[in-house]
Every structure is written in C-alpha cells, then in structure tokens.
Structure 1
Amino acid sequence: MRELQAILGVSRSMIAGLVAAGFVTPSRGPRNAYRFTFQDVVLLRTALQLRAARIAPRKIVAALARLSESLPDELPLSGIRVSAVGNDVAVRTGPAQWDAVTGQLLLDFEVAEIKGDVVFLDTQPTRKNLAREAEEWYDLGEQLRTSDAGGAERAYKKAIELSPQPFYAAYVDLGALLCEMEARCEDALRVFDEALSHFPKDAVLHFNRAIAFEELGRFEDAERSYQRCLELDPSYADAHHNLAMLLEKRGDPQGLVRHLNAYRRLTT
C-alpha cells in the first residue's frame, strides 16, 4: 500500500475507497496486507484520471472491468493509454483505439464543429507529444525500478525509443539498472556505447562504462574509461577512488597512491 501511495501520489484512504468501490480486487499477503499487481496499478491510476475528468462512477467501473480482462501480465511495449472522450472512456493500445465499455473500435481522429464547419483534427504524433510520452515512460521506469526490474527496463527503452532527441537520463538509468542485474553488464555496455554516440564528452557515462568493464573482468578497458572520465572531469572523486582500487589490483602502487590522494583531497 505504501509503494502504491508513492506511485499514485494519493492518500491511503483514497486508495482504500477505490478498492471498496470495486475498481480493483487486490490479493492479501502476510498480516492481511494488500498486494497489488501491475494491472491493479494501471487500473487505479486510470480510475483517478477518469474521476478527475468527471466520468460517471458506474461508467468507470464498467470500463475498468472490461479493461482488466485485456491487460497483459507485463508492461506492453506498445503502451496503454486511457482517456475521457466527452462522456465516454477510450482506450488506445498501439495504433488501435476502442471504447472501453462497448469494445467498439474508434476512428483515429476527432470531429469538431467550428462555425458550422466539420473539422478533422490531426492526431499525428507531434514532437511535443512524443517528448511528453517519453517522459511518462521514463517516470514509470523510475517507479518500477525497485519492484519490477524487467518492467523498468522496458519502460526506459520505450522512453528512449519515443524521445524526439537523445534521452540522457533514460540511457544512464537503463545502463545502471542492467549493470545491477546478474549477467547483464554486456547489455549495459551497449546502452552506454549508444549513449556516448550522442554524449561523447559526458564523464558520468564514461564512469558507468568503466564499472561495467570491471564487472566483466575487462580491467584494461575499465582503466581507460576511468582515465577518460577524469580527463573530462578531474574533480570526479568516485572515479579517482575506483581507479585507485583498480590500479592496486593491477599491481601499480604509484597509481594507487596518486589517485587515492586525489580522492582524499576532493572529499575532505
């Protein structure tokens, strides 16, 4: 429940009210504590958004009941978007859009009447919309990071894919996440290499790349990456520390002392 409150940004009583109203049916864990699935989180977040859009509670319950049947066990790469269209609830999964209550497919445009004329509103993805959607996927990755590493990975990748410009934070966090996962440091290196093609002079990326090399036992490559990090930012204390420890392993006592002294100067 505490994790869900943090994700949704609402009070415990509001979540309890949504559960009591039948929006979701969570299971029970130790000490009778609620246990919410990924689908529950999506449905509760959607319920809050639809309530804010003044959709009738009965219609929300009917829409979410149908939606819960179609939600996958894992986060879909195509994404799921639920929105209020007038008094109705529309669901978009990938290129398709359908009415959440009836299941009827909806046309991929809206019709508005302006001064007696029918106007078709262009809904092609704009740079601004893509940037906003990428930010949403990134935020979801941050929320899932501690509870669902696989879901967080997919969310970060989707943010990178959708962003109209290189998404620095998503690259950094995806690479770090992969490095924390068993046997994924090779994948992390590919992420850092791609990021460095966009941000070649970023010290943090070179530092993280060095850590991945160390985890793989590629100490010579790790040393070069730490050195490159320090060329770009000589005040990077952690790089001095890690490089000192690495040089000790590689039998370079002078290098150890030099970088350890630099680390101490920077941190005292």
Structure 2
Amino acid sequence: MTRGERYRMRDVQRMLGVSRTVISRLIAGGFVQPERGRGREHLFSFRDVVMLRTAHSLRKAGIPPRKIVRALENLRSTWSPDRDLTSIRISAMGADVAVHDSAGRWAADFGQLLIDFEPVPACVNVARIARLEATPVSNTALDDFHEAAELESDGRLDAAETAYWRAIYADRSFVDAYLNLGCLLCDRGRYDDAVSLYGDAVLAVPGGALLHFNLGVALEDAERLADALDAYRRCIDLQPDFADAHFNSARIHEELGETQHAIRHFNRYRTLNKDP
C-alpha cells in the first residue's frame, strides 16, 4: 500500500469483519475520513483501517455500536487536535471503552482513570482461549497451571501469579504458563516484568511464535517500539501466516513513518485475511 492507495468498503469489511453500520457511523463522526472514488465510493487509507479494526475489536468484545461511537466522540472532543488517535490504545473493559496512553488508563466515555483493562493489541492468554500446547508437561506443572487459571478467574491475582511461577519452575518449557503469566503481568501494568518473563520464555522455547508475539505486545506496552518490531519479526520468521503480527508490525512502522515497511506488512495481513 502506498500513501495514495485506498481500500474499498467491501475490501475493509472482508478484511476486518466490520459492519457497514459501524463504518458509516465512524465516517459520519469524522473518525475515519475516506476519499471518494468513482461513483462516490468510499476509499479508505491505512489509518482508517487501523481505526476500523479498533472499532471491530470493541464490537467483538460486546460493546454496542452506539456506545463505540459515543466513546470515540468523547475521546476526540477531549483530545489535542495535533494528536493522532491511532497512536493510543483503545479497548474494552467490561461494558466500557478504555484508553491507554502515556498519561495512564482511563474510560473514554467519562474520563475516569482506570486500573486494569485488556491492552490492544491483546496478548494471547491460554486460559481465555481454552487451548493448551501439544508439548507434554509434568503433572505437577499442569496442576499448578490449572490452579493458577482458576485463581485468576476468581480475581485472586497475587495467588494466581505465584501458582503460574510454580508451574514454570516445575517445567521451564511450559509455554502456556508463560503466556498466561505474561498477560497477567501486562494486565496489572507490570510491562517490564512481562518483557523479562517473555525474554526468558523465548530462550527456553525458541520456536514459540506465540511467545515472540506476546513479547512484542509487552514491549509495545513498555513503549519500546523498535524492540517490539524485532519480536514481531521473529514471530513472523517462525510463523509467516501470523496475521496479527503483520498487522501490529504495519501499525508500528506507520507510526514511525516507515511507510514502505508498513505497506508490506499490511498487504500481507490483507492477503492472510482474504476469504478462502
């Protein structure tokens, strides 16, 4: 994609699964500003796609379209006009829309500071997606892991963290324990700790593409964009069809003004998300 290249409405809907209703409301609100092509067809830029993908992630999290638009309207009305909305992180926190920037975490609807919410792009937490790595682990590690996941679901986060550490100490190759613990640390705002954990994990399990992806997310949260790109690059080396790693890479390159790199990764993301 070049600065002049644009994507049609149906291309965006196919790539992201965003409804025409949400897109139309975001256009009406001025959050995305597509050009008009032949026949007055909307043509979207890369930055438009980033905003639309954010809206889609909120919709998937159960936020109603009207609330998404209202939250973004409030965000834009209180945001400095020279600040790019694509440079912040927007995601769902329960039934609310949360924002993460250098000033902290706060609710887009009413500006109240928040404590915890899912970062965007979200790290992959195994307990939340009910998946375990195929690599066998010891019974002790597995017992500790299940205990930790249950404690986390009950909101007993300190105890959950301890149990995840026990699982890792029992089996240093236990990928899923690293994934869950790293996400827990990120959720609690301990990004440097998560980076350190994932750094140990990729040394213990060098072929784990998902670990490199989560390392990239943690590095982004720690505002280490160049290092995050390196982690996403390693993830892609291990798993070339890891679509979200391409999208995150494209977004960072765009933020850094590295257009050609953003083009390459975004086009790859688009190819991977085409209908079969």
Answer with 1 or 2: which has the greater Rg.
1
Q: Which has the higher contact order (CA 8 A, sep 6+)?
A: 2
